[in-house]
């Protein structure tokens, strides 16, 4: 019985953890944006201000054009950290590999 409770709690915890991994730039508040590695208070404020002024971002190109400091490299890093635009990661950005997959790929080289 205790095992079942433990596994149920673990499942809830992990499902909550994964739910927080993706942050949509069009739906997020400042705290959610700040939770993305690479976005600080200045950038999150700029995103919110631009979203308020010009409406939701259409795609990654729109985000990069409208928010100063978000270029190709930073957009890729932000996408890898979990930022999405309309639920879509930056094209060409692979999801981070798990440690096992990365270690296996490294050992095969």
The pLDDT of 32-56, averaged and rounded, is: 96
Q: Is the pLDDT of residue 71 over 90?
A: yes
Residue 48 neighbours by CB distance under 10 Å: 16
Torsion 6-9-14-15 (CA) sign: positive
Instruction: Pick the more confident residue, 23 or 106.
Output: 23
- The residue behind tokens 């596994």 is 7
The domain limits of the chain are 22-108
Q: What span, in angstroms and rounded, lies between the C-alpha atoms of 6 and 46?
A: 42
Domain 22-108, architecture per CATH: Orthogonal Bundle (1.10)
Average pLDDT, the chain: 81
């Amino acid at each position: 019985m205790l095992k079942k409770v433990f596994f149920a709690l673990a499942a809830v915890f992990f499902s909550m953890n994964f739910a927080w991994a993706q942050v949509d730039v069009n739906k997020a508040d400042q705290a959610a944006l700040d939770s993305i590695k690479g976005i600080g208070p200045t950038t999150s404020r700029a995103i919110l201000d631009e979203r308020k002024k010009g409406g939701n971002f259409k795609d990654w190109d729109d985000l990069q054009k409208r928010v100063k400091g978000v270029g190709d490299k930073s957009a890729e890093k932000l996408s890898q950290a979990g930022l999405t635009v309309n639920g879509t990661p930056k094209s060409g950005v692979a999801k981070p590999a798990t440690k096992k997959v990365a270690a296996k790929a490294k050992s095969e080289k």
